[in-house]
A and B are shown apart, each in its own frame.
Chain A
């Protein structure tokens, strides 16, 4: 019997990406069943699927002590490829096919404003929280502020201005929390903040900035909003990495000395 299981595990690892298609397909099917039967469609099937994904990632992290969630289990390594940056971005770009270009152009200005607002607000909040927890020097405050922007802006900023590794780790953790909260929480706040049209989706993407969070959160809300939100979110990390170690660091240093 163990031999049969070993053989099956071998096949699953060898055909990693194909295994991922099958496993994710089953997960999505189960999620839509749960959505229809338990919530009568109130909670979107994709929202449940994403939450199951996060849950699996937590389990994977606990079991393997690795950093790539359930993909650190050898038989499910293909999930890391399927959900990795390359295929994710390929699929996001494909969602732009057939978007309403007039709406895109009309929302352009508010999208740009939301990007700047999102970066500055996140840095400010992260810096204040850092200060409250005793990280009172400008370098740590800016780095943790960067983490409150995205989990990439934090370490990029920290590395540029010479933050300690524990502060950088903290900033990554803050960014991960933000990303997961946006992924799982967007469908619940969407009705409260008018997130139901292309323009507010672009603004949402610009304010939140975490591409993975926005990509997942909007998919769980209404997948037709994805291209608009992803469009602005994709500029956020670049903008944050640009402003963080420069303008924002100088401002925070001027304030706290």
Chain B
């Protein structure tokens, strides 16, 4: 059933959000620490087990892959509901702080990629496969 996949995804999200809130309380900050990342790890583990044991049937998996596929449209909606005006009106100091942070962080990507040996090869060419 498709709902099994959706429910599994929902369960992972709730568990991860709970753990993230818990970590926030434990270290004394009012923020969810890594909840989404933890949920992702949970989903990877649980789904791998389910697939290996045959309990997570292909039809149930579509309950997860649908949401994965709807991801880009959701991000487009997210972009459309950002407070762009506030960002633009923030003035030179805000623009400079934001832009420089991005530029310098970008420059660090190739440097850090060298840690732990040669960077892995690029993903195979995906032209033609744009799964929106």
Residues of A within 8 A of B (CB): 20-21, 24-25, 27-28, 32, 41, 44-46, 49-54, 56-58, 60-62, 67-71, 79-80, 82-84, 87-99, 101, 103-104, 106-107, 109-110, 113-114, 117-118, 121-122, 125-126, 129-130, 133, 135, 144, 147-149, 152, 156, 169-183, 185, 189, 192-200, 203-204, 207-208, 211-212, 215-216, 219, 222-227, 230-232, 234-235, 237-239, 241-242
Contact = CB atoms under 8 A, between A and B. Distances in A.
B98 A203 contact: no
Interface of B: 9-10, 12-13, 16, 20, 23-24, 27, 29-37, 39-41, 43-44, 47-48, 61, 64-68, 70-102, 104-110, 112-113, 115-116, 119-123, 126-127, 130-132
B64 to A, nearest CB: 5
B81 A84 contact: yes
Contact of B101 (A79, A178, A231): A178
Please name the 3 residue pairs, one residue from A and one from B, whose CB atoms are nearest each other, closest first.
A173-B90, A177-B98, A83-B77
B27 A172 contact: no
Contacts of B77: 20, 24, 53, 79-80, 82-83
A122 to B, nearest CB: 5
A225 B39 contact: no
Contact of A62 (B72, B73, B85, B126): B85
A89 B36 contact: yes
A226 B83 CA distance: 23
A101 to B, nearest CB: 6
Nearest to B9: A94
Contact of A96 (B27, B43, B70, B113): B43
Contacts of A90: 9-10, 13, 67
Contact of A32 (B71, B88, B130): B130
A182 B79 CA distance: 11
Contacts of B110: 193-194, 200
Contact of B89 (A44, A70, A93, A173): A173
Contacts of B65: 94, 97
A43 to B, nearest CB: 12
Nearest to B36: A234
B38 to A, nearest CB: 8
A179 B48 contact: no
A208 B71 contact: no
9 contacts: A32-B130, A57-B82, A80-B77, A88-B75, A125-B101, A133-B92, A173-B90, A193-B107, A203-B112
Contacts of A195: 109
A131 to B, nearest CB: 10
Contact of A68 (B71, B81, B89, B107): B81
A203 B106 CA distance: 10
A88 B74 contact: yes
A213 B108 CA distance: 17
